[in-house]
Chain A
Amino acid sequence: MRRRSRGNPKVTGVLPTALEEATKIVQALLLAGKEYVCVMKLHSQMPEDQIKAVLDEFQGTIYQRPPVRASVKRRLRIRKIYYVNFLEMDERNVLFKVGCEAGTYIRKLCYDIGEVLGCGAHMQELRRTRVGPFIEDEGIVTLHDVSYMFAQWRETSDENLLRRFIYPMEKSLGLIPKIFVRDSAVDALCHGAHLAAPGVLSLDTKIKPNDAVAILTQKGEAVALSKALTSTEKILKMDHGFVAKTQRVLMPRGVYPRMWRSGP
């Protein structure tokens, strides 16, 4: 696999950055839906109604071949585009907002829109406005803010300065269906055990088999990222057997007491 520098002078916006132990949770965000606001430059002027019609066509399921400069294999991929909203235009610059599945290349989307329009187009500027539950309008900070508040905390020891710009990692799980478990089930999960039905106290509706789910304590602490083995309805009725397969443990061992016995 080839890797190249991903530096791009015109790309800004939401970049959730996890600290220390929380780095394990970014896996949940890599798979999360994204939203962008994009300036696309057309290679010749086109009527507004035609542009709007073509943007509409890109809503739904699209096929996309990753661009030449990509860190993934360049085979045709299927991606869901939740919406493409035209915002405004000024001569050859078109501003639009797009909500899409993880792994959608907006540079490529612009190129493809240009092809369908017939005039050609490229991505001029990109701002990410959402990564899963993290949005641009809520608690976003610049590198400068981070460095300033951290220095202030060192001077004053006022921990509220840190709590103001750092979120608990559980914020990342905002859009993932959740299963809350008994205290007695927690430590086994931290050792990598799969979740069995008796450990479940409550869970989100609409969970389907193979869905990515988050396992939490009743206090709301993240225990693990898992894969549901069955649906909400079935889990509610089960009295034994596994309900979710542990994929990534997020909580260190020993926070909750060990209530399980090892083999003979």
Chain B
Amino acid sequence: MQRISPPWEIERSLAVKAEEETSPRFGHKPEERPIEDYMQFGIINLDKPAGPSSHEVTAWVKRILSLKRAGHGGTLEA
């Protein structure tokens, strides 16, 4: 069978259409957000332990970090 490249092997580059500066008055670079915002827009690369379901693990993260909301990217099951 022919090999299909995984998405993580596709190389892209940036093509410029127009130039313009961004104003420092609005927003922040993601890494430079004030800590409250940084958490609000944060994501954790969590190592799911054996045993509990993805859903349960996410609920634990929510409780540990006293969050209102948490969600996982792709249920990890068989």
Query: Which positions in A face B, CB cutoff 8 Å?
Result: 5-23, 25-26, 28-30, 32-35, 56-57, 59-61, 67, 71, 80-83, 99, 102, 105-107, 123, 126, 128, 130-136, 138-143, 146-147, 150, 159, 162-163, 165-172, 175, 177, 180, 182-183, 186, 200-206, 217-222, 232, 235-236, 255-257
Q: Is the interface of A mostly helix, strand, loop or mixed?
A: mixed
Cross-chain contact A220 with B44 (CB below 8 angstroms): no
Chain B residues in 8 Å Cβ range of A82:
3-6
Q: Are B45 and A83 in contact (CB under 8 A)?
A: no
- B1 engages A57 (CB within 8 Å): yes
Most buried by B among A23, A83, A162: A23
A18 contacts B43, C-beta separation under 8 Å: yes
Bound-complex Cα distance A71 to B75 (A): 11
| Residues in A whose Cβ lies below 8 Å from that of B46 | 14-17, 140-143, 146
Chain A residues with CB under 8 Å of B61's CB are 17, 19, 143, 146
Among A33, A142, A201, point to the contact of B6 (Cβ < 8 A): A33
Q: Is the CB of B72 within 8 A of A26?
A: yes
User: What 4 A-B pairs have minimum CB-CB distances, sorted nearest first?
Assistant: A29-B73, A60-B1, A168-B30, A107-B78
Contact, CB under 8 Å: A22 / B78: no
Q: How far is A5 from B73 in the complex, measured between Cα atoms in Å?
A: 17
Contact between chains at A183 and B74 (CB < 8 Å) = no
- Cα distance, A218 to B21, chains bound together (Å): 8
A139 touches B45 (CB 8 A): yes
- Chain A residues near B68: list those with CB within 8 A: 20
**Chain B residues closer than 8 Å to A202, beta-carbon distance:** 14-18
Contact among B38, B54, B60 for A168, CB-based, below 8 A: B38
Beyond known contacts A13-B47, A221-B27: 9 more, CB 8 A cutoff: A17-B46, A128-B76, A132-B8, A172-B73, A175-B7, A180-B14, A182-B18, A201-B19, A206-B10
Tell whether A30 pairs with B44 under 8 Å between CB atoms, given A82-B5, A150-B65, A202-B15.
no
Q: How far is the CA of A6 from the CA of B69 in the complex (A)?
A: 21
CA distance A18 to B70 in the complex (A): 5
| Interface residues as binary, B14-41 with A (CB distance below 8 Å gives 1, 0 otherwise) | 1111111111001111110101001111
Q: Indicate if the CB atoms of B73 and A18 lie closer than 8 Å.
A: yes
What are 18 of the A-B contact pairs (CB < 8 Å)? A8-B50, A8-B77, A13-B76, A14-B76, A16-B45, A19-B65, A19-B67, A23-B71, A26-B74, A28-B73, A131-B73, A132-B7, A159-B35, A162-B39, A165-B44, A202-B17, A202-B18, A236-B15
